[in-house]
Amino acid sequence: MSSFDRRTLLLMPLALAACGFTPVYGTGASGTALQNNVEVNEPNDDNSYLLNRRLEERLGRSSTPVYRLRVSVRSEREALAVNTESNINRFNLVGVAEYTLVEKSTGRVVTSGSVNNFTGSSATGTTVATLAAERDAQLRLMTLLADQIVVRLLSTDLA
């Protein structure tokens, strides 16, 4: 290891501290404050169930939540690739999730916003394979949206 590499490694923590970087799961940080303290609204369809499941995997569950997360999700399937015989070979599943994090004790809106993403699935092969690909695309899309929401929540100043 060259002396330049060693200096870079030794000075990196100082540079991060100087720029205001704080660990998201450090003492008093948003990750610690949200972990096992968020109640997610009840799912009402497959998309919201998959999204909520992922949110609870990432944020945990609480018997006495401090925050309530309201999430509304919608998705739309779009034909992407059509062959010369007008058969659709590939679909895009486009999704949008709007969220609001509310402090339960005061009703104060801590943060809100929306995230969007897409996944694709193939429509070639048997009916069973096409349906399996659609379900997989739906699960991947809801996982992407939930992870985006969690990243936004973790970067929020909860004070």
Query: Residue 98: pLDDT above 60?
Result: yes
What mean pLDDT, rounded, does the chain reach?
85
Given a cut of 90, whether residue 114 has pLDDT beyond it is yes
pLDDT value at 2 more than 60: no
Task: Give me the percent of the chain exceeding a pLDDT of 90.
Answer: 53
Cβ atoms of residues 78 and 91 within 8 Å: yes
Whose CA is closest to 97, among 131, 28, 51, 31? 51
3-class secondary structure, 84 = coil
Phi, psi of 97 (to 5 degrees): -125, 125
Question: What's the confidence (pLDDT) of residue 112?
Answer: 96
pTM recorded for the entire structure: 0.80
Residue 11 pLDDT more than 80? no
What percentage of the chain carries pLDDT values higher than 70? Answer: 77
Q: Which of 78-82, 129-133, 139-143 has the highest mean pLDDT?
A: 139-143
**Could you read off the pLDDT of 52-93 as tens digits, one per residue?**
999 999 999 888 999 999 999 999 988 776 777 777 777 889
pLDDT at residue 69, rounded to an integer: 96
How far apart CA 22 and CA 147 sit, in angstroms, is 20
- Residue 152: pLDDT band (50, 70, 90) is very high
